[in-house]
Amino acid sequence: MSGYKNRSFFARLGFALQGLAHGVRAERSLRAQLLAFAAALAALAILRPPALWWALVLLSSAAVLAAELFNTAIERLADELHPEHHPGIRIAKDCAAAGVLIAALGALAVGLALLLHLVMK
């Protein structure tokens, strides 16, 4: 495992893509978030808001997807290190899930602000 940092950019990119593929295969919530992201992209294409709104929606969507992947990593690591029930592990997993919730609520707020902007225009 040592030497991950010294691998080529393409090797590290491959590791990241493997992680993304695992998350998509293993996590229903990540697949749901990807569908929401696709819907957001479709809405942007239809509504054609200014570039700033594209940036806000894309950035908030990326934050949700990243949070989902971090949550997956924390849950997997916790399960591997401590498979039996443990209150501290539960708290760590709950906090990771709360991070996803906060990111998703932030993305939803951006979407609602965009709709309000377009209606008030």
Q: What does the alpha-carbon distance between residue 64 and residue 113 come to, in Å, rounded to a whole number? A: 17
Question: Are residues 19 and 69 in contact, defined by beta-carbon separation less than 8 angstroms?
Answer: yes
Catalytic status, residue 27: no
Work out the number of other CB atoms within 10 angstroms of the CB of residue 53: 18
* Active-site option among 27, 68, 75, 80: 68
Contact present, 117 and 49 (Cβ < 8 Å): yes
Positions marked active-site: 68
